[in-house]
Homo-oligomer: A and B are copies of this chain.
Amino acid sequence: MPELRQNFFTKEWVIIATERAKRPEDLATHRPAQTVPSFVETCPFCPGNENKTPPEVMRYPANASEPWAVRVIPNKFAALSSEAQPTRSLQHLRRRIDGFGFHEVIIDSPDHSSAMALLPDAQVAKILGVFKDRYNSLSTDQRINHVTIFKNHGVDAGASLQHPHSQLIATPVIPSQVRHRLHEALRHYDDAGECMFCHMVEREVEDQTRIVLKSELFVAMEVFASATPFATHIFPLRHMASFGEITAAEILNLARMLRTLLAKLYVGLENPDLNFTIRSGPSDYVGARHFHWYVSVIPRLTRVAGFELGSGMFINTVLPESAAEFLRNIKVDKAVGTGASAKL
């Protein structure tokens, strides 16, 4: 029997279409293993080609005499311009803002071949540290209302360059999805006097069926009302509204969990295209009691069709509980996370 489930954070209904059900492994890409070279002469993100990108915003380590491990540059094809000012105008019903904002690329590693699933935990921690630095630095700009940090891995996930990289876009508005979650979170806080995310995480940990990974600081779980197969959330167990509040110890712990989750997806679904995004409260929500940041990992295994576009409801053919069990059982080879092999 199919089932409708309501997303607790967004109140969106999802159809879990068990009649069309697929076993989790049916969604594996079956793409042939590919040997990706670790250096490509024409790649603007490979070491030695630093002059092919706009001047760097930051590098890690900062000391220019050492080779960089992570590098941040303005996106050459930026969606928003830091040269503009966020001037608003309203003509009849048409509301506009000049396209002010920041659009940056975070180069994950000098190694062209190393998808994040294959990086050492320590390298992932460096990337997350750079995310935090950029998040906090851009958040001090009074014209910025929100910073979205995300990764596109693979063509179906919108990546146009193969060299592993992440991106951020800082906007002069709070994007609608974030605004909507804030409303619902505030409403729950008003009703129940608690963070709805904290409450949900507690119940899910109790229930166990959708948990994929758990440490003393973070938990990774399949989403009860998941719109798409294998959508996975990683929540910090400590209440924090803004990603900018993450501590150094939490960064190390999250790096390990995120990398392990990505490796499980890499092995279990054979390197699927995927996105992840850090869903954080807006920059000025530090300390807010009703919101809670998390990481949302979304493998791109299915297509959005007319029903989804027309209704906003999604049809998901994989039971989140089956997806969780499948991911729990995937053994991630010890070689993964050492950066030793790009092939697995």
The interface of chain A, by Cβ under 8 A from chain B, is 1-6, 8, 10-13, 15-20, 77-81, 84, 92-99, 101, 146, 148-152, 155-159, 167, 169, 171-173, 175-178, 180, 196, 199-200, 203, 207, 224, 275-279, 296, 298, 303-307, 309-313, 315
* Complex: A279 Cα to B12 Cα, angstroms: 17
Chain B residue nearest in CB terms to A231: B309
Determine which of B10, B15, B146, B224 lies in contact with A99 in the assembled complex, contact meaning CB atoms within 8 Å. B15
The answer to whether A150 and B96 touch across the interface, beta carbons within 8 angstroms, is no
* Complex: A3 Cα to B96 Cα, angstroms: 7
* Complex: A296 Cα to B2 Cα, angstroms: 28
Question: How far does the Cβ of A170 sit from chain B's closest Cβ, in whole Å?
Answer: 11
Determine which of B6, B278, B304, B311 lies in contact with A178 in the assembled complex, contact meaning CB atoms within 8 Å. B311
* Complex: A315 Cα to B171 Cα, angstroms: 12
A275: chain B residues at CB < 8 Å are: 305-306, 309-310
The answer to whether B96 and A305 touch across the interface, beta carbons within 8 angstroms, is no
* Complex: A309 Cα to B277 Cα, angstroms: 8
- A-B pairs, top 5 by smallest CB distance, nearest first, are A158-B305, A2-B99, A277-B310, A177-B312, A150-B306
Give the copy number.
Answer: 2
Interface of chain A: mostly helix, strand, loop or mixed: mixed
Question: How far does the Cβ of A150 sit from chain B's closest Cβ, in whole Å?
Answer: 3
Question: How far does the Cβ of A208 sit from chain B's closest Cβ, in whole Å?
Answer: 13
A152: chain B residues at CB < 8 Å are: 305-306
Question: How far does the Cβ of A139 sit from chain B's closest Cβ, in whole Å?
Answer: 15
The answer to whether B277 and A13 touch across the interface, beta carbons within 8 angstroms, is no
The answer to whether B310 and A296 touch across the interface, beta carbons within 8 angstroms, is yes
Question: How far does the Cβ of A201 sit from chain B's closest Cβ, in whole Å?
Answer: 11
| Given contact pairs A19-B77, A146-B311, A10 touches B176 in the complex (Cβ within 8 A) | yes
| Given contact pairs A99-B15, A157-B305, A305-B157, A178 touches B1 in the complex (Cβ within 8 A) | no
The answer to whether A279 and B2 touch across the interface, beta carbons within 8 angstroms, is no
Chain B residue nearest in CB terms to A196: B93
The answer to whether A200 and B148 touch across the interface, beta carbons within 8 angstroms, is no
A310: chain B residues at CB < 8 Å are: 148-150, 177, 275, 277-279, 296
Question: How far does the Cβ of A185 sit from chain B's closest Cβ, in whole Å?
Answer: 13
